[in-house]
Structure 1
Amino acid sequence: MTSDLPTVTVRLWRADAVVLFDWLTSTDLGSVPVTHPAQKQALADLLSRLEYDTDTDLTGSTAEEIAAAQAEVASDMAW
């Protein structure tokens, strides 16, 4: 991602970030259904940001932490 491009800041609940990071790292992004190639690139960019540009160490999440985050997020589902 080029640093001179306009950016936005998105604040995530840590549990959401753990769940998203785990899903993105375990999913074949080539098989995710999209309607435009930019959508796949945006997912790859999100993964990169979660992996390298956060203050929290998501790459070190244990299976137990991932399971706890999944349970937390699932318990907060509004749909």
Structure 2
Amino acid sequence: MAKTQLNVRVDEGTARAARERALARGMSVNRYIEELVRQDAGEAGRAFVEAAADFMKQYESVFAEEFGKEREGRGEGRGDAAREGRR
């Protein structure tokens, strides 16, 4: 993967903490920052999925009322076929 240089200004305390934490983990500050960003991006993804699940749970009765009968007929057949290994 191609690398891009990113210059960031932080206060000395933050820079010191980044260096110390990277050293404690046996990695470069660059790699440490990359991993923090990746973890943060993953958290955002999890937060989205959790929010979507909460939304669906909150409005479950509305969806069931509107789409329940249509989905029940289709879902049962697909579920049986999937369990039997066919589509």
Q: TM-score, normalised by structure 2?
A: 0.28
Structure with the larger RCO, 1 or 2 (CA within 8 Å, 6+ apart): 1
Larger helix proportion of the pair = 2
Q: TM-score, normalised by structure 1?
A: 0.29
